[in-house]
Structures are given as C-alpha cells and as structure tokens.
Copies of this chain bind each other. A is one copy, B any other.
Amino acid sequence: MLSTMQDVPLTVTRILKHGMAIHGTSQVTTWTGDAEPQRRTYRELGERTAQLAHALREDLGVEGDQRVATLMWNNAEHVEAYYAIPCMGAVLHTLNLRLPVEQLVFIVNHAADRVVIVNGSLLPLLAPLLPHLPTVEHIVVSGPGDRSVLEGARAQVHEYEELIAGKPVTYDWPELDERSAAAMCYTSGTTGDPKGVVYSHRSIYLHSMQVNMAQSMGLTDSDTSLVVVPQFHVNAWGLPHAVLMTGVNMLMPDRFLQPGPLAEMIEAEKPTHAAAVPTIWQGLLAELTAKPRDVSSLTQVTIGGSACPPSLMEAFDSLGMRVCHAWGMTETSPLGTIARPPAHAVGTEAELGYRLTQGRFPAGVEARLRGPADEFLPWDGESAGELEVRGPWIAGAYYGGAASGEAGGALRPEDKFSEDGWLKTGDVGVISSEGFLTLTDRAKDVIKSGGEWISSVELENALMAHPEVAEAAVVAVPDEKWGERPLATVVLKDGATADYAALKEFLAGKIARWQLPERWAIIPAVPKTSVGKFDKKVIRRQYAEGELEVTHV
C-alpha cells in the first residue's frame, strides 16, 4: 500500500530556504578583534550564498559533485560556503587547519579538491603546500592577510568579495537526491592516514533536526550560540545547519580563540549558548578567574570532543554556566549522545552523576556494546565493551573504501564497521539501564593487566581531581609479569612539586588498589592532537625511547 505523502527530499537547500524565509532577520556576528563585529542577517547571508554559488559555477566552472575545500575560521563567509557548495550540488570539504601539513596535503589530494576558499590569515599555512596540490585550480581568498605569499602560485587566485560582487542574489538551486554527498570531513586519527567521512544531505538534515530537539541542544531564536568548536571539526557539531532551522543567532569567533578575546566577546555580545572542547573552557575559566567579566548571559555550554573533568563542570556551574556533556565523533555527524539528566534526577544529588556521563542516545542513534569475546553485553552500568552505533547520521564506510591510506593502510573494514553495518566506535564503556553511556577508555588505550581491563581515563580523572595536578595522561606500558601496566604522566600546576607517594595515596581512595600505577613521570604538558585530544602514542613512544624520567613508587 502506497503512502499518499509528498516525496520531498531532505536537503541542505531546504534548510537554507527555510532560514531565509522564516528567520531572515536572525544574525550571524563575526568577531573582528578590535574593530566593530561584522553583522549579517540570515537573509543577507542567503543572498551572498546565491552569489557565491553563481561565482563558483560561472567563474570557476565548478560542476557536478566536484569538491570545494575551505581552510577557514568560524565566520560568516564560512557559513556561506557551507550552503553554497552543497546546495549547488558540489561537495564541501572542510580542511582542519591544525592537521600536520603532510596530512593536509594527503586529504586535499585524496578528495581531489578543485577549489580552496581560504581566510587571508591562513595563507602562510596554505601557500607552501600548493606545489603539492595538483588538483587545486582556484584559490579564493577572504578576509585580511598578506596575499603576496601566493605570488607564483599555479592556481588562479581570486578575492572572495570581488568574485561575488554583482552576482544575482537568487539562485535556481537544483532539486537534489537526499542521499547525495553534501560535505566531507576527514578524521584526524592518530594512526594511519586520515579517513574521509562523506555526509549526505539527508544525514545533515536529520542531524540538524535532532540538534534542535528540546532534549538535545534545543535552541530557539531567543538564543545566540557562540560557536567555538571549529567549522572544520565535524561541521561545528552541526550548529551552522541547525541554526537556520530555528533562527538561532550565531556568534563566530573567527581567529580570536584565545581566552581573553573569548571572554570579551561573551561580555559584549551576550551569547546564551556556547559549544567547544574542554581545553578551550579550561583556558576560559583561568581567564575569568584572573579577570572577572560579566558572562551571565551564557547559561548553556555544550562540551564535547573529550570528557569534561568533573572539577571543570563544577567550576562552570558555580559561574552559572551549565555544562552539558555530549559525545560524538566525525563518523557520527557528531551527535551520538547528550547528557541531559533524566527528569527524576533533576535537582537531586544524583544529577551531577548523570551529567558526568557521556549522556543518553537520542532518537535516531541505536547503540550496543560488544564485549571482549565478541558477545553483546547488557545495559547494566557495569559490563564494559566497545560501543557500536547505527543510525541515519552515522557513517557506514569511508570515502574511497575503509583502507583509504597507502602508508597507513593497515585499517581493514572490519576494524571500523561490523558485518551488519554498525560503526565500531573504538570507544570502550558501559551503558546504564536508562541508556546513559559512560566511556571508560579508547579501545586502544585500555590497559590489559593480567587478563583484566584497567581504564586509563578513570585514572586520569582521579588524578586531575588532585588540587596540584593540572593534567594527567595514563598509558599502557609493557610489563613482564602482567602483560601491561599503567604509566601515569602528570602535569603539575605552577609552584607544585612532585610527591608521587601522596598522589598514589590520593588515588587509593577512589581506585581499586591493583589498578594503581607503579610508574610515574612528571611532564611539562600532555601532547595533544590537532583537535586538542591527548595524543597518547607520543607518550608511549617517549617511554619506549627512554625520554621520560620514570619513578617507580
């Protein structure tokens, strides 16, 4: 029996049209440092989006599903690219400006980007790579920055504003298949070459609806969202798409990501919501402690990317900024869970416990835990296994096949996707009977000690609760007797001195004694990946090569 419903595709174009028609007066504000912020309504932004599409098609000859890359900060022009490129049928490829240059070269070539739209301030990063990017025919430069570094480039160089000036402010957007590619983002994995995730119009549309659900971020046109999470980082968690569905205003920090400017823009523009990884918030907290500002507008803070330390969550709570944990990855668009406490816990002592989990799975994301013996585990809050997820905004493959890299080609499809198509997240955790996920580790970071698992993350969180510890990373190191044992590397706060025995005793109250590390080292800072996550393979290498001063306690 056929349904009688209209067959209307779920496309980014429909989001754009809706935003312009219904929320045309909502704004995207881009911070400019000392000058007046740049303000643009969604109607203006939509008109410039049409102009950009005309320029890409008519002047640069972008056709079909060709890839147009962006190497940009969070700003209005980047949002214009977010819509113009997919809505004309091409594919937006956001380049992570914090990737090692060899990885940037790899992904531009792998995606065969024809055009790169770049912020002027990032030309010093792009220019030296150009000789290694044979597919790039056009460079479009937006915003301040010295253009002279592009002299001698083989690719044609255009000015963004000149290119779009005078173009028609409407565009006859094609009706696209909702399953066609809209955007792509490469994972910055710590092993092997980056792997490309290709989002469809459908996946972006559905993810945007989910972001807007009341139990998710649930923003409305009364809100202004400070989008700190970069647009090259899983589409800024879907915010630039989600906001045009509901008219949420956006505040874009552009390149001003230091704690000082962030505090300043919060005080001046009064966002109600912000989204960023914990590292950024840790810096902001220090800034606000040193120099208090009026940040009272900011009541909801979405934190993801890595777990938020309890101490940080409580510190923000005390400032009136309510932190909401979320979990996701490039492969999950990224919303995989969000830690809204259940109704029965709100206002009780149990609430913080729920908020410190990774959260509940929203409608649309199915989850299961696979145990060490390949069996599926119960949701009992105790059985730890690798998390597998399924849903319409979850990746089921990588661009060009799972083993995309030649150099790092050790990745087999079965490492990332189950036989029945679920994503194997590589995250290890437990799920409670209420569906709350608590991640305990990365599958590759679990310490396998004498046939038992020790969570490196649990040890790190316990260590970071110590008043003299700034950061801590725990890795598995080989051990003759137990197979593996934990090595604790600790960054002390200014002026603190190492007392390993005291640290170990501090842990003993919280962690089973057999799990306590015997190996300790003070390090100046935890090595981080380009997106701010702990880069544990660097610590493991330093240990293996004897570069750490290890004390046995």
Seen from chain A, the residues whose Cβ lies within 8 Å of a Cβ on chain B are 1-8, 10, 14-15, 17-18, 21-25, 65, 91, 179-182, 196-200, 202-203, 206, 208-210, 212-215, 218-222, 244-247, 340, 342-344, 346, 360-361, 363-364, 366, 379, 390-399, 421, 423, 433-435
Q: Do A1 and B215 contact each other (CB < 8 Å), given the known contacts A6-B421, A390-B6?
A: no
Q: Do A10 and B363 contact each other (CB < 8 Å), given the known contacts A222-B343, A434-B22?
A: no
How many Å lie between the Cα of A209 and that of B218 in the bound state? 12
Q: Do A340 and B214 contact each other (CB < 8 Å), given the known contacts A3-B203, A5-B395, A392-B8?
A: no
Q: Do A179 and B1 contact each other (CB < 8 Å), given the known contacts A215-B221, A220-B215, A435-B21?
A: no
Contact A220 B209 (CB under 8 A): no
A212 contact set on B, CB distance < 8 A = 213-215, 363
A/B interface sample: 23 pairs, CB < 8 A: A3-B198, A3-B203, A4-B196, A4-B398, A4-B399, A5-B179, A5-B199, A5-B392, A5-B394, A8-B392, A14-B363, A14-B364, A18-B363, A22-B361, A22-B363, A25-B434, A212-B214, A213-B214, A213-B245, A214-B218, A214-B220, A218-B218, A221-B342
Report A414 CB to chain B, min CB distance, Å. 16
Q: Closest chain B residue to A10 by CB distance?
A: B392
Q: Do A396 and B6 contact each other (CB < 8 Å), given the known contacts A65-B1, A220-B340?
A: yes
12 A-B pairs besides A5-B395, A6-B395 with CB distance below 8 A are A3-B182, A3-B199, A4-B197, A4-B398, A5-B202, A5-B203, A6-B423, A22-B361, A209-B209, A214-B246, A245-B363, A247-B343
Partner of A366, one of B17, B24, B179: B17
How many Å lie between the Cα of A101 and that of B55 in the bound state? 63
A379 contact set on B, CB distance < 8 A = 21
How many Å lie between the Cα of A218 and that of B15 in the bound state? 19
How many Å lie between the Cα of A206 and that of B23 in the bound state? 21
Q: Closest chain B residue to A423 by CB distance?
A: B6
How many Å lie between the Cα of A435 and that of B247 in the bound state? 12
Partner of A198, one of B4, B221, B396: B4
Partner of A396, one of B7, B14, B202: B7
A206 contact set on B, CB distance < 8 A = 10, 209
**Which interface residue of A1, A5, A180, A219 has the most chain B CB atoms within 10 A?**
A5
Q: Closest chain B residue to A201 by CB distance?
A: B3
Q: Closest chain B residue to A64 by CB distance?
A: B1
How many Å lie between the Cα of A342 and that of B196 in the bound state? 39
How many Å lie between the Cα of A402 and that of B380 in the bound state? 52
How many Å lie between the Cα of A244 and that of B8 in the bound state? 25
Contact B214 A391 (CB under 8 A): no
Contact B246 A215 (CB under 8 A): yes
Contact B363 A5 (CB under 8 A): no
How many Å lie between the Cα of A2 and that of B209 in the bound state? 22
Report A381 CB to chain B, min CB distance, Å. 14
**Which interface residue of A21, A213, A399 has the most chain B CB atoms within 10 A?**
A213
A23 contact set on B, CB distance < 8 A = 435
A394 contact set on B, CB distance < 8 A = 5-6, 8
A200 contact set on B, CB distance < 8 A = 3, 5
Contact A22 B435 (CB under 8 A): yes
Contact A181 B3 (CB under 8 A): yes
How many Å lie between the Cα of A482 and that of B123 in the bound state? 72
Report A307 CB to chain B, min CB distance, Å. 21
How many Å lie between the Cα of A221 and that of B199 in the bound state? 30
**Which interface residue of A206, A214, A394, A396 has the most chain B CB atoms within 10 A?**
A214
Report A289 CB to chain B, min CB distance, Å. 32
How many Å lie between the Cα of A222 and that of B348 in the bound state? 14
A182 contact set on B, CB distance < 8 A = 3
A423 contact set on B, CB distance < 8 A = 6
How many Å lie between the Cα of A454 and that of B399 in the bound state? 60
Q: Do A391 and B6 contact each other (CB < 8 Å), given the known contacts A218-B218, A220-B340, A363-B18?
A: yes
A-B CB proximity, top 4 nearest: A3-B200, A6-B396, A245-B363, A22-B435
Contact B209 A363 (CB under 8 A): yes
Q: Do A198 and B343 contact each other (CB < 8 Å), given the known contacts A210-B209, A213-B214?
A: no
Q: Closest chain B residue to A197 by CB distance?
A: B4
Report A135 CB to chain B, min CB distance, Å. 14
Q: Do A393 and B5 contact each other (CB < 8 Å), given the known contacts A218-B218, A221-B343, A346-B222?
A: yes
Contact A179 B3 (CB under 8 A): yes
Report A227 CB to chain B, min CB distance, Å. 17
A6 contact set on B, CB distance < 8 A = 390-392, 394-396, 421, 423
How many Å lie between the Cα of A476 and that of B119 in the bound state? 63
